[in-house]
Chain A
Amino acid sequence: MRYAARAGDRDLVVELTPEGRYLVGDRVLAADLAETVPGRAWSVVIDGGAHEVAFLGADRVWVDGDEIRLDLADERAVAAGRAGGRAAHARQEIRAPMPGLLKRVHVEEGATVNEGDALVTLEAMKMENELRAAHAGTVAQIAVAEGTKVESGTLLIVIRPE
């Protein structure tokens, strides 16, 4: 199986051979992995180089003291991703980045907003955080009413691009 990875600022392709060896580019690596915390942390020794890796959550990975993002996909996913591509600035879905109380909604449905306009105020951990529009557009939907307690990821507002 071949994997494409972006680890921090480095791209690499790794092939896992049926014999359990790793091919990185055209090099065969003598890599020895030990799972030190089940499902969470590994000690990785590559040609004598000792590394430590811990999975912190989602795509955040700790390696040798640095916190990086690791995007990892097997060959099929890579192929699918190439075909799809990314739609630039479709519609903006403003979601709660953390659980909290939707203290205020600053806009109305149908209103025009400019880049950077405050949309809602979300209160969490005693702080009020204003979520702002990333691009100009029209407020297509207000999904949650003021005063509602929301979970992380709850859809709050939809902005249609101009």
Chain B
Amino acid sequence: MANRGEIALRVMRTCRELGIATATVYSDIDRAAPHVRAADEAYPIGKAPPRESYLNIERIIAVAKRAGCDAIHPGYGFLSENADFADAVVAAGIAFVGPPAAVQRTLGEKTSARRLAAKAGVPVAEGTMQPLNDEADARATAERIGYPVLLKPAGGGGGKGMRVVRSAAELSSAWRASTGEATTAFGAPALLMERLIQPARHVEVQLLADAHGAVVWLGERDCSIQRRHQKLVEETPGPSVDDALRAKLGAAAVTVASAANYVNAGTAEFLVAPDGSFVFLEMNTRLQVEHPVTELVTGLDLVALQLRIAAGERLPFGQDDIRRTGAAIELRITAEDPFTGFLPQGGQVDFVREPAGPGIRMDSGLAAPLTVPTDYDPLLAKLIAWGPDRATAIARARRAVREMVVAGLPTSLPFHSFVLAERDFAAGRYDTDYVTTHWSRPAAPEITEGAAIAATLAGIARLRSRPRPIAAEASPWSRSAREDMLR
């Protein structure tokens, strides 16, 4: 398991159920992390910065050989979409749990994926079909297709390094930022440009393909609720997707996968306009963070299927065998302060209470005590709720969010509480602008007088018993940032 956090735990759980022994890797700072504790074997691979540990191909392969691994699961992020890693794994005589390197190269370079989709007859957004040469090229392209436009790293997905450019005046600074982030995240500064489609919903289709040419799709997920082009809430079925649109999206996803000779689990991402027209965005050649919502409505274990496919087995079912029951919602609980524009925060978690009960699944990398480093993705845990219908799933998620306590650093939980009680979300009326339009000036939650008195009395008791300042969180900065710096 060449990853950390909740996804490492998620994958190792399925391995254990299947009787497969697990080995994992860890950086210095993760020595006591939950994934190390859960694995059968764990090996150190270097210092905290990803380049020296979780992105270090050589060391990970050496560990896998030493541990006698038959297969490597890359999780998401880190090396999961790195074709050189997939090549190195196979060259070491180990199975890679994911699509072959050649497929990753075709789909990983986003303009090449756009060309493939367009050639297969799947619509793509107006924009560049080759990476942009330089800022002047970007400027000329933006003039041609018309502002607003979207700058995207050509070398990778997941929303990192993406910038909306609304006018010519914003282009230079957006170009700088995107190039910088693309280099940091993907090791390549190349960018592409697309016309911004807005309002739009981000709807994606889960795919499974075996090495014998069979491709199935398992339904869609609406992931429109995002900040900085990164998802916060995902659900299935998509509240705006009717049967006709679902069938069209599924067929388009299968077309792209077949054209790319896709193997293993993958996700085709689309933008859907209010009139139901859609464009293909990109293919994520890995297990997605939000895969559990699909698991809950289909009853399938996507990791188990990934392992079978990687072992060369055929898909054990066809498209007509797939049944979807009820609705599921996932909330990404991140180490980010929703009151300061979702600024990521590291820190020390010293108390955690996770929810349980009917319809609730927690995929969590949380523990107490736990050091949350700033070196990695801020995702801490995923709260996933299932219900026989959307209203029940929302009610369960809302109840569960209110049970959850994470002390020691700010989390996205207050945002999730807000969303689940908000009218437009409840009605399924939202698009990719939701965070901007609904959370730009978050109000303090209204609490009862009893709750206010209880908080005050506990605060007095705490002051009088042991006035212990919480060093992990410096209050003046979070407050000044709240008020001044990031508006």
Contact = CB atoms under 8 A, between A and B. Distances in A.
The answer to whether A and B assemble together is yes
B447 A68 contact: yes
A12 interface: yes
Interface string B440-473: 0000111111111111111111110110101011
B252 to A, nearest CB: 30
A110 interface: no
Contact of A7 (B173, B340, B456, B466): B456
Interface in B392-414: 401-403, 405-410, 413-414
Contacts of B479: 59
A142 interface: no
B477 interface: yes
B315 to A, nearest CB: 35
B449 A63 contact: no
Contacts of B484: 92, 134
Contact of A125 (B180, B376, B444, B445): B376
A162 interface: no
A2 to B, nearest CB: 10
A72 B463 contact: yes
B408 A44 contact: no
A9 interface: yes
Contacts of A16: 460
A8 B452 contact: yes
Nearest to B353: A54
Contacts of A136: none
Contacts of A96: 477
Interface residues of B, number: 73
Interface residues on A, range: 35 or more
B63 interface: no
A97 to B, nearest CB: 4
Interface in A106-121: 116, 118, 121
A104 B458 CA distance: 44
Contacts of A100: 374
B177 interface: yes
Nearest to B337: A97
B451 A63 contact: yes
Contacts of B160: 126-127
A56 B374 contact: no
A123 to B, nearest CB: 7
Interface in B362-391: 374-378
Interface in A24-77: 24, 29, 31, 33, 35, 37, 39-42, 44, 46, 49, 51-70, 72, 74
A14 B457 contact: yes
User: Which residue of A31, A39, A121 has the most chain B CB atoms within 10 A of its CB atom?
Assistant: A39
Given A8-B447, A24-B453, A44-B454, A132 B474 contact: no
A67 B463 CA distance: 19
Contacts of A5: 452, 455-456, 459
A70 B456 contact: yes
Nearest to A59: B475
Interface in B321-380: 340, 343-347, 350-351, 353, 374-378
A147 B454 CA distance: 47
A124 interface: yes
A153 interface: yes
B343 A70 contact: no
B465 A35 contact: yes
A128 B459 CA distance: 37
Contacts of B374: 98-100, 124-125
A9 B451 CA distance: 11
A74 B338 CA distance: 30
B343 A97 contact: yes
A22 B457 contact: yes
B181 interface: yes
Contacts of B483: 134
A132 B457 contact: no
Contacts of A54: 351, 353, 405, 407
Contact of B485 (A9, A41, A97): A97
A3 B376 CA distance: 42
B181 A128 contact: yes
Contacts of A125: 344, 346, 374-378
Given A40-B351, A128-B180, A53 B454 contact: yes
14 contacts: A3-B460, A8-B452, A40-B407, A49-B454, A54-B353, A64-B448, A67-B413, A68-B455, A70-B455, A96-B477, A121-B180, A124-B374, A126-B377, A153-B476
Interface of A: 3, 5, 7-10, 12, 14, 16, 22, 24, 29, 31, 33, 35, 37, 39-42, 44, 46, 49, 51-70, 72, 74, 92-100, 103, 116, 118, 121, 123-132, 134, 152-153
Given A35-B465, A57-B409, A66-B445, 18 more contacts: A7-B453, A7-B455, A8-B452, A16-B460, A40-B351, A46-B457, A51-B454, A55-B462, A65-B403, A72-B459, A98-B343, A103-B180, A124-B343, A124-B374, A126-B160, A126-B184, A128-B177, A129-B343
